[in-house]
Structure 1
Amino acid sequence: MPFIKMEAGKMDQAQKETLIAGFTEVASATLGIPPEAFLVLIKENEMDNWGKGGRMLSKVLAEQKRGN
Protein backbone atom coordinates (compact mmCIF):
# COMPACT_ATOMS: atom_id res chain seq x y z
CA MET A 1 0.00 0.00 0.00
CA PRO A 2 1.61 3.30 -1.09
CA PHE A 3 1.88 5.88 1.69
CA ILE A 4 2.02 9.68 1.26
CA LYS A 5 2.82 11.93 4.23
CA MET A 6 2.78 15.71 4.52
CA GLU A 7 3.73 17.78 7.55
CA ALA A 8 2.47 21.36 7.74
CA GLY A 9 0.81 23.93 9.93
CA LYS A 10 -2.85 23.90 10.88
CA MET A 11 -5.38 23.48 8.05
CA ASP A 12 -9.13 23.46 7.80
CA GLN A 13 -11.09 20.41 6.67
CA ALA A 14 -11.59 21.66 3.11
CA GLN A 15 -7.85 22.17 2.65
CA LYS A 16 -7.14 18.68 3.94
CA GLU A 17 -9.74 17.13 1.63
CA THR A 18 -8.28 18.99 -1.36
CA LEU A 19 -4.73 17.89 -0.53
CA ILE A 20 -5.72 14.25 0.02
CA ALA A 21 -7.61 14.13 -3.28
CA GLY A 22 -4.83 15.92 -5.17
CA PHE A 23 -1.98 13.83 -3.77
CA THR A 24 -3.88 10.64 -4.52
CA GLU A 25 -4.81 11.70 -8.06
CA VAL A 26 -1.27 12.71 -9.04
CA ALA A 27 0.39 9.68 -7.44
CA SER A 28 -2.12 7.30 -9.00
CA ALA A 29 -1.67 8.77 -12.48
CA THR A 30 2.11 8.92 -12.16
CA LEU A 31 2.60 5.41 -10.79
CA GLY A 32 -0.29 3.64 -12.52
CA ILE A 33 -1.67 2.39 -9.20
CA PRO A 34 -5.40 2.56 -8.39
CA PRO A 35 -6.36 5.48 -6.10
CA GLU A 36 -7.89 3.05 -3.60
CA ALA A 37 -4.41 1.68 -2.86
CA PHE A 38 -3.08 4.96 -1.43
CA LEU A 39 -2.98 6.00 2.19
CA VAL A 40 -2.44 9.73 2.86
CA LEU A 41 -1.44 11.18 6.22
CA ILE A 42 -1.46 14.89 6.99
CA LYS A 43 0.37 15.70 10.18
CA GLU A 44 -0.41 19.14 11.54
CA ASN A 45 2.13 20.93 13.68
CA GLU A 46 1.84 24.00 15.85
CA MET A 47 4.04 26.86 14.65
CA ASP A 48 5.79 26.77 18.06
CA ASN A 49 7.09 23.29 17.11
CA TRP A 50 8.95 24.64 14.06
CA GLY A 51 12.09 26.71 13.97
CA LYS A 52 13.55 28.97 11.29
CA GLY A 53 16.87 30.74 11.61
CA GLY A 54 17.20 29.64 15.23
CA ARG A 55 13.84 31.11 16.25
CA MET A 56 10.33 29.73 16.72
CA LEU A 57 8.39 30.00 13.49
CA SER A 58 5.38 31.47 15.30
CA LYS A 59 7.51 34.50 16.26
CA VAL A 60 9.02 34.84 12.79
CA LEU A 61 5.56 34.80 11.18
CA ALA A 62 4.14 37.25 13.75
CA GLU A 63 6.93 39.70 12.95
CA GLN A 64 6.33 39.32 9.21
CA LYS A 65 2.64 40.12 9.71
CA ARG A 66 3.58 43.30 11.55
CA GLY A 67 5.92 44.24 8.71
CA ASN A 68 9.18 44.01 10.65
Structure 2
Amino acid sequence: MPVIIFEGPKMTKEQKEALVKEFANSASQITKIAPEAFVTLIKESDPENVGVGTILLADRVKK
Protein backbone atom coordinates (compact mmCIF):
# COMPACT_ATOMS: atom_id res chain seq x y z
CA MET A 1 0.00 0.00 0.00
CA PRO A 2 1.83 3.13 -1.23
CA VAL A 3 1.44 6.27 0.89
CA ILE A 4 1.38 9.86 -0.35
CA ILE A 5 1.90 12.55 2.30
CA PHE A 6 0.95 16.17 1.65
CA GLU A 7 1.77 18.91 4.14
CA GLY A 8 0.31 22.31 3.42
CA PRO A 9 -2.23 24.98 4.29
CA LYS A 10 -5.76 24.48 5.51
CA MET A 11 -8.10 23.49 2.67
CA THR A 12 -11.78 22.95 2.07
CA LYS A 13 -13.20 19.44 1.83
CA GLU A 14 -13.63 19.95 -1.91
CA GLN A 15 -9.97 20.91 -2.32
CA LYS A 16 -8.89 17.83 -0.36
CA GLU A 17 -11.08 15.59 -2.51
CA ALA A 18 -9.55 17.03 -5.69
CA LEU A 19 -6.02 16.72 -4.31
CA VAL A 20 -6.47 13.08 -3.28
CA LYS A 21 -7.96 12.21 -6.67
CA GLU A 22 -5.19 13.94 -8.63
CA PHE A 23 -2.38 12.50 -6.51
CA ALA A 24 -3.70 8.94 -6.72
CA ASN A 25 -4.39 9.12 -10.45
CA SER A 26 -1.00 10.67 -11.27
CA ALA A 27 0.90 8.21 -9.08
CA SER A 28 -1.06 5.36 -10.64
CA GLN A 29 -0.16 6.42 -14.17
CA ILE A 30 3.53 6.64 -13.28
CA THR A 31 3.81 3.47 -11.18
CA LYS A 32 1.17 1.31 -12.89
CA ILE A 33 -0.35 0.63 -9.45
CA ALA A 34 -4.14 0.94 -9.17
CA PRO A 35 -5.24 4.32 -7.77
CA GLU A 36 -7.33 2.50 -5.17
CA ALA A 37 -4.14 1.13 -3.63
CA PHE A 38 -2.83 4.56 -2.64
CA VAL A 39 -3.34 6.09 0.79
CA THR A 40 -3.06 9.88 0.93
CA LEU A 41 -2.41 11.63 4.23
CA ILE A 42 -3.12 15.35 4.41
CA LYS A 43 -1.46 17.31 7.20
CA GLU A 44 -2.71 20.87 7.48
CA SER A 45 -0.66 23.54 9.16
CA ASP A 46 -1.91 26.87 10.43
CA PRO A 47 0.43 29.71 9.34
CA GLU A 48 1.01 30.49 13.02
CA ASN A 49 2.55 27.03 13.41
CA VAL A 50 5.09 27.39 10.59
CA GLY A 51 8.37 29.27 10.76
CA VAL A 52 10.14 30.51 7.64
CA GLY A 53 13.62 31.67 8.39
CA THR A 54 13.32 33.69 11.57
CA ILE A 55 9.61 34.64 11.40
CA LEU A 56 6.25 32.94 11.53
CA LEU A 57 4.57 32.34 8.18
CA ALA A 58 1.52 34.21 9.49
CA ASP A 59 3.67 37.34 9.89
CA ARG A 60 5.35 36.88 6.52
CA VAL A 61 1.99 36.63 4.73
CA LYS A 62 0.87 39.95 6.28
CA LYS A 63 3.72 41.83 4.55
TM-score (norm 1): 0.88
Correspondence for 1:49: 49
Q: How far apart, in 2, do the equivalents of 1:45 and 1:32 lie?
A: 31
Correspondence for 1:58: 58
How far does residue 53 in structure 1 lie from its aligned partner after superposition? 2.3
Q: Secondary structure at the match of 2:43?
A: strand
Q: Secondary structure at the match of 1:17?
A: helix
What are the ranges of 5 or more consecutive residues in structure 1 without an aligned counterpart?
Answer: 64-68
1:39 aligns with 2:39: yes
Give the root-mean-square deviation of aligned CA atoms. Answer: 0.7
Q: How far apart, in 2, do the equivalents of 1:36 and 1:10 lie?
A: 24
Aligned residues: 63
Correspondence for 1:11: 11
1:29 aligns with 2:29: yes
Q: How far apart, in 1, do the equivalents of 2:57 and 2:7 lie?
A: 14
